[in-house]
Chain A
Amino acid sequence: MLELEGVVKHYSGPGGEVVRAVDGISLSIRAGEIVALHGPSGSGKSTLLMLAAALMKPDAGRMRFEGVDLTLMSANVTADYQREQIGFIYQSFHLMAEVPAVENAAIKLLANRVPLKQARRAAVPWLERVGLGKRLDHTPDRLSGGERQRVAIARALISEPRLILADEPTGSLDTRRGGEILALLADICDQQKAAMLLVTHDSQATAIADRVYAMRDGKLALGEMDSGPPEPLRQRVPG
Chain B
Amino acid sequence: MRLSSLLYFYGRRLRRRPVQELLAGLGIAIGVALVLAVQVANSSITDASTSIVRGIAGTATLQLRSRDSNGFDEALLAKVHHLPGVARAAPILEQGATLVGRSDRSVAVDLASAAPALLRLDGGIVRNISVHDLTSPGVMLPTATAAALGLSPAAFQAGEGAAPRVTLNVRGQAHSVPVLAVLGPESIGALSNAMAAISPIWWEQKITGLGSRDTRILVKTEPGRQAQVESELRTLAAGRLTVAPADQDVALLKQAVTPNTEATGFFALVSAIVGFLLAFNAMLLTVPERRRMIADLRIQGLRPRQLATMLLFQALCLGVMASLVGLVAGDVLSRTIFHTTPSYLATAFPLGTQTVVGLSAVLISFAGGVIATCLAAAPPLFDLRRSRAVDAVYSEDEEPGQALDHRAQVRLFLVGVIVMLATNGLLIFWPSGIVVATIGLALGTLLAIPLAFRLALRLAERLASLTPRLNTLAVAVRALRATTIRSLALAATGAIAVFGCVVAEDSHYDLLHGLYSDYSEYVSTANLWVVNSHDDLATVSFPTGTLPARIASIPGVSSARAYQGGFLDFAGRRVWVIARDASTRGIIPVSQLEEGASFTPETRLREGGWITVSQQIATAHHVRPGDMLTLPTPTGPTAFHIAATTTNLGWTSGAIILNSADYRKAWGTTDASALEIDTRPGANVESVKRAVQQTLGPNAAFKVQSSGERAAQADALARQGLSRMSQISLMLMIAAALAMAAAMGAGIWQRRSTLASLRIQGFSVGQLRAILAYESLLVLGTGALAGAVSGVYGHLLSDRFLRLTTGFPAPFAIAGAHTVQTILVIVFAALLALAIPGYVASGVSPQLALER
Contact = CB atoms under 8 A, between A and B. Distances in A.
Interface of A: 50, 53, 55-57, 75-76, 79-84, 86, 88, 90, 94-100, 103, 107-108, 110-111, 113, 115-116, 119, 139, 155
A121 to B, nearest CB: 14
B546 interface: no
A139 B17 CA distance: 13
B301 A98 contact: no
Contacts of A115: 2, 4-5
A183 B703 CA distance: 102
B293 interface: yes
B293 to A, nearest CB: 6
* Top 9 A-B pairs, shortest CB-CB distance: A83-B301, A98-B16, A82-B301, A94-B296, A79-B303, A98-B12, A110-B5, A111-B302, A55-B390
Given A82-B300, A83-B301, 7 more contacts: A79-B301, A82-B301, A83-B300, A96-B293, A103-B8, A115-B2, A155-B300
B16 A79 contact: no
B299 A55 contact: yes
B15 A90 contact: no
B1 A113 contact: yes
Contacts of A110: 1-2, 5
Contacts of A86: 301
Contacts of B387: 57, 75
Interface in B342-396: 387-391
Given A56-B388, A96-B296, A80 B1 contact: no
Chain B contact residues (Cβ within 8 angstroms of A): what range?
20 to 34
A123 to B, nearest CB: 13
Contacts of A88: 299-300
A53 B298 CA distance: 12
Nearest to A50: B390
Contacts of A99: 9, 12
A47 B300 CA distance: 17
Contacts of B293: 96
A109 to B, nearest CB: 9
Nearest to B397: A14
B16 A107 contact: no
A116 B390 contact: no
Contacts of A95: 296
9 contacts: A55-B389, A75-B303, A76-B303, A79-B302, A84-B301, A96-B296, A108-B300, A116-B2, A155-B300
A98 B1 CA distance: 18
B52 to A, nearest CB: 56
Contacts of A103: 8, 12
Nearest to A88: B299
A112 to B, nearest CB: 9
A169 to B, nearest CB: 16
Nearest to A56: B388
A56 B390 contact: yes
Interface in B10-27: 12-13, 15-17
Nearest to B9: A99
A111 B1 contact: yes
A119 B304 CA distance: 21
A119 B96 CA distance: 76
Contacts of A113: 1-2
Contacts of B289: 97
Nearest to A141: B852
A76 B384 CA distance: 11
Nearest to A79: B303
B464 interface: no
Contacts of B299: 53, 55, 82, 88, 90, 94
A100 B11 CA distance: 12
A111 B299 CA distance: 12
Contacts of A84: 301
Contacts of A98: 12-13, 15-17
A113 B15 CA distance: 23
Contacts of B298: 79, 82
Nearest to B391: A56
B5 A116 contact: yes
B306 interface: yes
Nearest to A111: B302
Interface string B305-330: 11000000000000000000000000
A79 B1 contact: no
Nearest to A97: B16
B661 interface: no
A100 B305 CA distance: 24
B16 A76 contact: no
A80 B300 CA distance: 9
A140 to B, nearest CB: 11
A53 B299 CA distance: 9
B8 to A, nearest CB: 6
A59 B653 CA distance: 71
A26 to B, nearest CB: 22
Contacts of A139: 16
B297 interface: yes
Contacts of B305: 76
A155 to B, nearest CB: 7
A75 B306 contact: no
A99 B389 CA distance: 21
A96 B5 CA distance: 14
B7 to A, nearest CB: 9
Contacts of B16: 97-98, 139
Nearest to A99: B12
Contacts of B389: 55
Contacts of B2: 110, 113, 115-116
B132 to A, nearest CB: 73
A99 B295 CA distance: 16
Nearest to B852: A141
A77 B300 CA distance: 13
Contacts of A96: 293, 296-297
A96 to B, nearest CB: 6
A105 B8 CA distance: 15
Contacts of A97: 16, 289
A28 to B, nearest CB: 23
Contact of A57 (B12, B302, B388): B388
Contacts of A53: 299
A18 to B, nearest CB: 16
Contacts of A107: 297, 300, 302
Nearest to B5: A110
Nearest to A110: B5
Interface in B129-171: none
Contacts of A155: 300
B569 to A, nearest CB: 64
Interface in B266-318: 289, 293, 295-306
A95 B12 CA distance: 14
A107 B2 CA distance: 12
Nearest to B304: A75
A86 B16 CA distance: 30
A153 to B, nearest CB: 13
Which of B15, B293, B300, B304 gathers the greatest number of chain A CB atoms within 10 Å?
Answer: B300
A53 B304 CA distance: 17
Contacts of A108: 300-301
Nearest to B305: A76
B290 to A, nearest CB: 11
A79 B304 CA distance: 8
Contacts of A76: 303-305
A114 B550 CA distance: 96
B304 to A, nearest CB: 6
A107 to B, nearest CB: 6
Contacts of B4: 115-116
A81 B297 CA distance: 14
Which of B293, B303, B391 gathers the greatest number of chain A CB atoms within 10 Å?
Answer: B303
Which of B301, B390, B391 gathers the greatest number of chain A CB atoms within 10 Å?
Answer: B301
B73 to A, nearest CB: 82
Contacts of B13: 98
A80 B301 contact: yes
Nearest to B387: A57
